[in-house]
Amino acid sequence: MATISDHVSITATLQTATSPVASFDQLFLAADTADVPHDQRYITTTKSAYTDDLTSGTDAYNFASEFFAQDRTADSLSIGFWAETAQENFVVCPDLSTTVASWNLKGATAYYKLTENVTTEEMTVSGLDADTTMVEVLAALNASLAGTFAAYAWSVDPLGRYILTSDNTGASAATVTITAGTTGTDVSDLIGISTSYHVAGLDAETPAQALTAISDIYDDYYFVCYRGSNGTGSGAAVEQLALSTAVQSLNKMLVLVSTDANCKLASGDTSSIAYGTSNADHKRTMVIFTEHTTDFVDGAIQGLIIPADEGTVNWAWEPLTGVNESGLAGDGSTAEPLTNTERTALEAKNCNWLERISGSTFLYPGITADDIEMRLMVGRDWFVFGIQGDIFADMLNSNLNAFDNATLAKFEGIVREWLDVALERRIIVDTEDRPITVDFPDADDFTAAQRASHTMTLSDVFTAYLNSAVNDVTITGTFVI
């Protein structure tokens, strides 16, 4: 019997592999933060949750406060753990009983054992009865710690896990195990020792090493900011420069804040982060100078820019909330403008600052340490990531890509699509004198050796002119009678 499909055939392809869209999210690297368990390495918070997720008054909290206070609001912020100092190892007890009735010892004592290396000691738990609460259980467990283990601590970590933290720091520090008590009533089952596990400590690390460790488990961030015990003054410059150097080889952008007065020196400065990054032509680093040590200007500018489509917003001239212009009056608290001499010195080092005019505070001039417009750096990366993602998805979903004109036409179409979107976003222009050109080769242009390599190299197949933002305007005219 004849059917419709004999004459009309429709196929809808289900793509099981989709384009891996690059994330342009923000990571704030916080030194030794208690809000991020070091075995997790990062947490992600939101505008509605950060006041619960982060400890008030900490660098991470203050950064988030500025980040989420802007007129545009980002969806989320990631907080990364940086072990500025060596960290203790600990035992996680995910199945510690939270059924308070099970902890009713009726005033009697109970036991469990702790072992560190060859030392084993029995801990005595007491004071728990029918009126016990989990707060009292935790207090009783802490009161049980004695002898070798007196400096240990039972607690609930930010993820709600019951943990026993040792006083041994470093990746190779002595570990502890929990076993059953033998003197009397055993509470090891209540502690949940059958599913407990050990988490190694951490050696002290540099910010760059912390980024590497975080990226091994979470790489969906693009912008990086950080704070450590050295703050943002002159004492942080060496550390900042080392992190900046490391970021240059990554597909990330680093935003640094400096309160080092050497940044604004017109001559004689060879130590500030502004000098160091500009002298090294660090195109993936932006440095912002301010004299206000408590302002998280990096959080403010990132929070405002990130929600906008990549490459569509000039980092200069965007009104910021909650931060001061960069200068500080002699009283140590009143904000004031930087002098012309200071601004000229900063600009010579490709360093940004904050200005306030007519009630609006904004960043200027919005450039990287290599004197590249930040918007264009981000827009360029967005363009590259987009083409990479689409071709990657096509390679996964196509039965065959080969050295033929059908494949070349498909790849050319992907490039043209992204050029069209870049034009819509005003990252590039297409004019008579500055046209977009696309010139893909023919399949026969590849040599036998190139085809045999199975690597299709497409060099200089497009040209597009970047569309620079305007930061200053000069108009002249003549009145004629």
- Higher-pLDDT residue of 114 and 131 is 114
Q: CA separation (Å) from 416 to 178, 224, 403, 422, 434?
A: 62, 31, 19, 10, 16
pLDDT, residue 444, reads 97
Q: What is the mean pLDDT of the chain?
A: 94
What local confidence, expressed as pLDDT, does residue 2 receive?
Answer: 63
To which residue do tokens 């980024």 refer?
Answer: 211
pLDDT greater than 50 at residue 8: no
Share of the chain above pLDDT 90, in %: 92
Confidence of residue 107 (pLDDT cuts 50, 70, 90): confident
Beta-strand pair 185-186/110-116: parallel
> Rounded CA gap, 60 and 47, in Å?
13
Co-location of 162 and 68 in the same domain: no
Instruction: Tell me the residue range of the domain where 342 lies.
Output: 26-84+205-373
Q: Do 343 and 255 lie in a common domain?
A: yes
Q: Is the pLDDT of residue 16 over 50?
A: no
Residues 211 and 300 in one domain: yes
- Whether residue 158 lies inside any domain: the answer is yes
Q: What are phi and psi of 452, to 5 degrees?
A: -70, -20
Q: What is the pLDDT of residue 12?
A: 44
Residue 78 belongs to some domain of the structure: yes
pLDDT attached to residue 184: 87
* Mean pLDDT score, 79-91: 97
Residues 435, 423 within the same domain: yes
pLDDT at 7: 42
SS3 letters for the chain? CCCHHHCCCCCCCCCCCCCCCCCCCEEEEEECCCCCCCCCCEEEECCCCHHHHCCCCCHHHHHHHHHCCCCCCCCCEEEEEECCCCEEEEEEECCCCCCHHHHCCCCCCEEEEEEECCEEEEEEECCCCCCCCHHHHHHHHHHHCCHHHCCCEEEECCCCCEEEEEEEECCCCCCEEEEECCCCEECHHHHCCCCCEEECCECCCCHHHHHHHHHHHCCCCCEEEEECCCCCCHHHHHHHHHHHHHHCCCCCEEEEEECCHHHHCCCCCCCCHHHHHHHCCCCCEEEEECCCCCCCHHHHHHHHHCCCCCCCCCCCCCCECCCCCCEECCCCCCEECCCHHHHHHHHHCCCEEEEEECCEEEEECCECCCCCEHHHHHHHHHHHHHHHHHHHHHHHHCCCCCCCHHHHHHHHHHHHHHHHHHHHCCCEECCCCCCCEECCCCHHHCCHHHHHHCCCCCCCCEECEECCCCCCCCCCCCCCC
Domain co-membership, 123 together with 269: no
Strands 428-429, 465-466: parallel, antiparallel or unpaired by DSSP? antiparallel
Residues 323 and 407 in one domain: no
> Where is the domain boundary, 134, 165, 199?
199
One domain for residues 367 and 230 = yes
Amino acid letter, 100 = V
Mean pLDDT confidence for 44-55: 97
Q: Is residue 212 part of a domain?
A: yes
Does residue 217 sit in the same domain as residue 358? yes
Number of domains in the chain: 3
Domain edge (last residue) among 199, 234, 259: 199
We report the CATH number of the domain holding residue 132 as 2.60.40
Instruction: For residues 80 and 278, give the distance between their C-alpha atoms in angstroms, rounded to a whole number.
Output: 27
| Same structural domain, 231 and 358 | yes
| Residue 431 belongs to some domain of the structure | yes
Partners of 114 in beta bridges: 121, 178
pTM score above 0.85: yes
* 148 and 110 within one domain: yes
Across 413-437, average pLDDT = 97
pLDDT for residue 1 is more than 80: no
CB 104 within 8 A of CB 132: yes
Same domain, 286 and 360: yes
Can you give the pLDDT at residue 151?
96
User: Average pLDDT in the 143-172 region?
Assistant: 96
Give yes or no: residues 305 and 232 share one domain: yes
How far apart CA 113 and CA 420 sit, in angstroms, is 67
Asked if residue 192 belongs to a domain, the reply is yes
Residue 384 belongs to a domain: no
Which residue's structure tokens are 């601004």? 343
The pLDDT value recorded for residue 68 is 97
In a domain, 382, yes or no: no
Mean pLDDT, residues 274-293 = 98
What's the pLDDT band for 3 if we cut at 50, 70, 90? low
pLDDT at 22 over 80: no
Does position 31 have pLDDT exceeding 60, yes or no? yes
The domain boundary residue, chosen from 182, 199, 216:
199
Nearest CA to 199 among 305, 302, 92, 119?
A: 92
Q: pLDDT band for 169, please (50, 70, 90 cuts).
A: very high
Please check the confidence at residue 20 and state whether its pLDDT lies above 60.
no
What per-residue confidence (pLDDT) applies to 6? Answer: 52
Report if residue 19 sits inside a domain.
no
